[in-house]
């Protein structure tokens, strides 16, 4: 007699998308070895409630499958051995509740590719800006600046005006006598 089960497992969320894909395939193969998979829902990357093995992010996946009553024990044994699986939970599925996936792994691969392309574009843009700045600085250094004329007062702008130095006097400091405070003990 087969029953409906639900497996929720969490993979290391700091892994790149291609490595996550291989880990998803491994877990899928583990479940398929002893059960019939109905549906796989990827919740995607989420922040863990607490650190597990110094990891703060996890990749959540839910698998609905039909299996014999003793199959979940074998699946749990194999998941416990797997290093990629941080946590897992297998329960009997009741009702028709199916959570909605947030972002599939394919979407994450596209996002990573777009992010790396954007970083490359920014790097190329910064190199072009640097060349423009260097060209402008060369143009500015070759131009001659006009000589400054003295003011009507006849004092050159670059000439420093010296002020009279006033003697500094220190205000007398009030010294506070520190009294040693000893707690008084009362005799009972």
Domains annotated on the chain, with CATH = 3-106 (3.30.70.60)
Percent of the chain with pLDDT over 70: 64
What are the phi and psi torsion angles at 74 (to 5°)?
-70, -40
pLDDT at 188: 52
pLDDT at 57: 92
pLDDT at 28: 94
- Helices 17-34 and 105-142: crossing angle in degrees, nearest 10, is 180
Q: Where are the alpha helices (DSSP H) in 51-167?
A: 71-81, 105-142
pLDDT at 91: 93
What are the phi and psi torsion angles at 118 (to 5°)?
-65, -40
Three-state secondary-structure class, residue 36: strand
pLDDT at 83: 86
In whole angstroms, how far apart are CA 13 and each of 32, 38, 49, 92? 23, 24, 13, 26
pLDDT at 27: 93
pLDDT at 148: 54
What are the phi and psi torsion angles at 159 (to 5°)?
-70, 130
Give, as one character, the DSSP assignment of residue 57.
Answer: E
**Segments of the chain scoring below 70 in pLDDT:** 96-105, 127, 133-188
């Amino acid at each position: 007699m087969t029953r409906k089960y639900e497996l929720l497992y969490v993979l290391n969320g700091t892994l790149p998308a291609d490595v996550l894909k291989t880990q998803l395939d491994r877990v899928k193969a583990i479940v398929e070895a002893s059960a019939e998979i109905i549906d796989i829902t990827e919740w995607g990357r989420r922040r863990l409630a607490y650190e597990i093995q110094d990891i703060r992010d996890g990749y959540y996946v839910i698998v609905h499958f039909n299996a014999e009553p003793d199959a979940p024990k074998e699946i749990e044994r194999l998941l416990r051995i797997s290093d990629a699986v941080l946590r897992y939970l297998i329960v009997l599925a009741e009702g028709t509740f199916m959570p909605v996936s947030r972002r599939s792994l394919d979407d994450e691969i596209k996002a990573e590719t777009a992010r790396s392309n954007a970083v490359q574009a920014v790097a190329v843009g910064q190199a072009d800006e640097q060349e423009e700045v260097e060209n402008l600085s060369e143009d500015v250094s070759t131009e001659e600046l006009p000589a400054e004329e003295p003011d009507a007062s006849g004092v050159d702008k670059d000439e420093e005006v010296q002020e009279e130095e006033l003697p500094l006097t220190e205000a007398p400091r009030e010294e506070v006598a520190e009294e040693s405070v000893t707690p008084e003990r009362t005799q009972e």
